[in-house]
């Protein structure tokens, strides 16, 4: 087994390597002055089972091209199997035609990854589960819910009687329910919101009883932070005791960190390290980062040993 890390999230790749007791393979991955990506694998990979670890986060296009070119280099170097380990799958929010004459970019990216030489894909908390069907190769979608369950129990000291799990929209109910079940069947509430345009949301109503409850918002992506802040304010307005958010992918674009830091209604935001944290994210006292290295390392080990990946969540 070989592990090759792209440049998008080197710290996470190194943590995965430590847990597998496997050093990252030597590779020269850089850009020319005109921004073209150059890759050279500096050790023999002929006949090897290779895992390429690369999130397609900001800058999304550069990191995507890096992933594609690494896999092309491995294919031409006769690797026996190439698994694209994509902790954060960019373009996942473009999973359907949102209007006339618009693309389905998630499908295009899936085609590119397959054409570049991937034999398998491993990712975490896809924005839409049906994206697995965009690939014509085996695709494992891992869930970070176990990581967040552990952190929630630490925060609340096992006292969960006054905890309610909140879905930030109707589409996230299945995800929120999975956490609620793991937390001893905690009650569930839903934020009913209307999105007038991409990146802008307005909270309309809270479906469920949240008065006097510690509310835990659970979602897959936080981008601008507007939805989380609006939802937290609406929940506190309905009498919630506190509001915390647990989100897998901390995109946190623009002034999202500042918005979250200033949000009195939001007690904390816990994100995973699927995306490498910028300096301002790591420095924000209200944002906590938990690692998914254990989850990914165990999945990689099972794939390499031809063991069940789905049993990770039994």
Q: 25 lies in which domain range?
A: 2-143+294-313
Do residues 245 and 286 lie in contact, with contact meaning Cβ atoms separated by under 8 Å?
no
224 annotated to a ligand binding site: yes
227 annotated to a ligand binding site: yes
139 annotated to a ligand binding site: no
**Is 262 tagged catalytic?**
no
Tally of structural domains, the chain: 2
Q: Are 22 and 109 part of one and the same domain?
A: yes
Q: Are 138 and 190 part of one and the same domain?
A: no
Q: Are 15 and 50 part of one and the same domain?
A: yes
Q: Is the pTM of this model over 0.75?
A: yes
Q: What is the DSSP letter of 80?
A: S
Residues 6+ apart with CB under 8 A from 235: 166, 191, 206, 210, 215, 217, 243, 265
Between helix 293-304 and helix 10-19 the angle, nearest 10°, is 60
253 annotated to a ligand binding site: no
As given in the structure block, the two tokens for residue 112 are 């590119």
pLDDT for position 313: 83
Q: Are 53 and 178 part of one and the same domain?
A: no
254 annotated to a ligand binding site: no
Q: Are 210 and 305 part of one and the same domain?
A: no
pLDDT for position 269: 98
298 annotated to a ligand binding site: no
In angstroms, the CA 42 to CA 27 distance is 5
In CATH, what number is assigned to the domain containing residue 85?
Answer: 3.40.50.2020
End-to-end C-alpha distance for the chain, whole angstroms? 26
Q: Are 8 and 127 part of one and the same domain?
A: yes
Q: Is the dihedral of CA 40, 43, 48, 53 positive or negative?
A: negative
Q: Are 160 and 135 part of one and the same domain?
A: no
185 annotated to a ligand binding site: no
pLDDT for position 314: 72
Cα–Cα distances (Å) from 244 to 17, 210, 274, in that order, read 31, 13, 19
**DSSP code per residue over 148-203:** HHHHHHHHHTT--TTEEEEESSGGGHHHHHHHHHHTTS--EEEEEEEEEETTEEEE
Q: What is the mean pLDDT of each run of 10 residues along the chain (314 residues)?
A: 97 98 97 95 97 97 98 98 98 93 97 98 95 96 96 91 94 94 96 69 82 97 92 95 98 96 97 97 97 98 96 83
Q: Are 154 and 287 part of one and the same domain?
A: yes
Neighbours of 232 (CB within 10 A): 28
Annotated catalytic residue within 107, 146, 193, 241:
193
Residue whose pair of structure tokens reads 């380990």 in the numeric block: 85
Q: Are 68 and 190 part of one and the same domain?
A: no
223 annotated to a ligand binding site: yes
In angstroms, the CA 171 to CA 189 distance is 13
pLDDT for position 98: 86
Q: Are 217 and 273 part of one and the same domain?
A: yes
Do residues 235 and 206 lie in contact, with contact meaning Cβ atoms separated by under 8 Å?
yes
Q: Are 108 and 7 part of one and the same domain?
A: yes
Neighbours of 205 (CB within 10 A): 11
Q: Are 51 and 97 part of one and the same domain?
A: yes
């Amino acid at each position: 087994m070989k592990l090759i890390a792209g440049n998008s999230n080197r710290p996470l790749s190194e943590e995965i390597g430590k847990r597998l007791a496997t050093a990252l393979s030597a590779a020269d991955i850089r850009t020319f002055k005109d921004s073209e990506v150059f890759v050279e694998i500096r050790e023999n990979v002929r006949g090897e089972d290779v895992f390429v670890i690369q999130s397609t986060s900001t800058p999304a296009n550069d990191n995507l091209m890096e992933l594609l070119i690494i896999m092309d280099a491995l294919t031409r170097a006769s690797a026996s199997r190439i698994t694209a380990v994509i902790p954060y799958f960019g373009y996942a929010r473009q999973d359907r035609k949102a209007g006339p004459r618009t693309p389905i970019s998630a499908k295009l990216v899936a085609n590119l990854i397959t054409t570049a030489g991937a034999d398998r894909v491993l990712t975490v908390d896809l924005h839409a589960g049906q994206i697995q069907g965009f690939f014509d190769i085996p695709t494992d979608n891992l869930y970070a819910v176990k990581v967040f369950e552990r952190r929630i129990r630490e925060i609340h000291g096992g006292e969960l009687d006054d905890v309610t799990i909140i879905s930030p929209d109707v589409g996230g109910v299945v995800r929120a329910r999975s956490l609620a079940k793991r937390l001893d069947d905690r009650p569930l509430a839903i934020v009913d919101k209307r999105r007038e345009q991409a990146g802008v949301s307005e909270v309309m109503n809270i479906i469920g009883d949240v008065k006097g409850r510690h509310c835990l918002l659970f979602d897959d992506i936080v981008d601008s932070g507007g939805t989380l802040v609006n939802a937290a304010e609406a929940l506190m307005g309905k009498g919630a005791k506190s509001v915390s958010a647990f989100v897998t992918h901390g995109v946190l674009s623009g002034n999202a960190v500042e918005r979250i830091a200033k949000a009195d209604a939001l007690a904390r935001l816990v994100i995973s390290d699927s995306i490498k944290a910028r300096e301002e994210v790591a420095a924000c006292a209200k944002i906590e980062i938990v690692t998914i290295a254990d989850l990914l390392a165990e999945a990689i080990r099972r794939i390499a040993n031809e063991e069940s990946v789905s049993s990770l969540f039994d």
